Amino acid sequence: MKYTGSCHCGAVKFEVEGELTGAMACNCSICTRKAALMWFVPRANLHVLTPEDALSTYTFNKHVIKHRFCKTCGIHPFGEGVAPGGAAMAAINIRCLEGVDTDALPVNHFDGRSK
């Protein structure tokens, strides 16, 4: 299925394809503060529809995950990284997807604080 999403102000727009069957909530320092519910897909399934200059990037700790956010409104619609097996991945903030009932999805809780 194809989903559309955006930041709050609409400067960052994207499409993502895949089967959304659940979400992950992480308790690491950044995920706790932004309260994102993440859905992991192959990076090739994420299609950013806006110019790169609408986005900014934040990294911390081991600097392996690119936390992408809108330069205008600050909302974090997705992140980019590499899975343990080496595949390029995208972490989609499902709260930024249109028409998704986040309360209807099962949420897996990940202890990122201890990693």
Where do the DSSP E strands lie in the chain? 2-6, 13-17, 23-26, 38-42, 46-48, 55-58, 66-70, 78-82, 88-93, 107-110
| Cα end-to-end span (Å), the chain | 32
Q: Are strands 55-58 and 66-70 parallel, antiparallel or unpaired?
A: antiparallel
pLDDT in tens, the chain (115 residues): 999 999 999 999 999 999 999 999 998 888 889 899 999 999 999 999 999 999 999 998 888 899 999 999 999 999 999 998 999 999 999 999 999 999 999 999 988 888 7
CA–CA gap between residue 34 and residue 93 (Å, rounded)? 10
Amino acid at 51: P
Question: Which residue ranges form the domains of the chain, and what is each CATH number?
Answer: 2-97+106-114 (2.170.150.70)
pTM: 0.92
